[in-house]
Amino acid sequence: MPHASSTGLGRLGLPPTILAVLFDLDGVLTQTSVLHRTAWKQTFDPILAAHGQGEFTEAEYAAHVDGRRRYDGVRAFLASRGIHPPEGTPEDGPEADTVCGIGNRKNEEVGRRLAADGVASYPGSVAYLHAVRAAGLRTAVVTASANGADVLAAAGLSDLLEARIDGVIAARDNLPGKPAPDTFLAGARALGVDPAQAAVIEDAIAGVQAGRAGNFGYVVGVDRLDQAAELAANGADVVVSDLAQLLDEEAS
């Protein structure tokens, strides 16, 4: 296992007990959160219109969908609008008006947009990831996305992350999605560290809640949706607008 130096940890703005960093993907490492919001809106708006309701909003994305697995997001958001489609099964086609069919419809839209537009990463996050590696810390990505491997490859980040817990692995291992801590706990296990020795970096309220519920050693909130107060209230130890802000800062 790489040895993390206290000097390196201070440069990263992390406590001296941290041996590993678990990164969320969409909205933390890559700019695909915009892609996901657009795909969710494309999916939900016709359903809402059919029920005589207004459009899906960015605030609703943050509150009900961001950071959650697809089917959980479908269920949570539509329930907030009083809409309760049948559950269906993961094999449902994207045309099916079931929770699973709607989630699959959204994933199909994400695939089209990824193929057309590619993936951009956040320069500050990539610089921070390189600094984490240089300091000798272990690294993993923990994402609700079923497209995690493809997104990492397209962004050129795969070789910087030692483990990946994504929506495919979570479904395979029957891991509850965020805000439950199970996927982050799986990431810590994959790196061979205790949760108290790992930092969680998240832009979603559900992800911050998961980091706190798992008793992780440090939780960093990345404010991409003007929700700094909410990230702090839900368990972030520190909130930044860009991970580059943590570089050269002393850990509190």
Coil, strand, or helix at residue 29?
Answer: coil
Catalytic residue chosen out of the listed positions 24, 66, 92, 237: 24
Structure-block tokens of residue 12? 């990263």
Which residues partner with 164 through β-bridges? 141
DSSP single-letter state for residue 246: G
Coil, strand, or helix at residue 236?
Answer: coil
Whole-angstrom Cα distance, residue 129 to residue 156? 12
26 has catalytic annotation: yes
Whether omega before 179 lies within 30 degrees of 0, making that bond cis, reads: yes
Whole-angstrom Cα distance, residue 68 to residue 62? 10
Catalytic residue chosen out of the listed positions 26, 92, 203, 223: 26
Residue environment code for 28-45, b if the CB has 16+ CB neighbours within 10 A, otherwise e: bbbbbbebbbebbbbbbe
3-state secondary structure 104-130: HHHHHHHHHHHHHHCCCECHHHHHHHH
159 has catalytic annotation: no
Residue (of 158, 148, 153) closest to 24 by Cα position: 148
63-66: long-range contacts at Cβ-Cβ below 8 A with a sequence spacing of 24 or more? 63/205, 65/40, 66/27, 66/33, 66/36, 66/203, 66/204, 66/205, 66/206, 66/225
Q: Which amino acids are annotated catalytic?
A: 24, 26
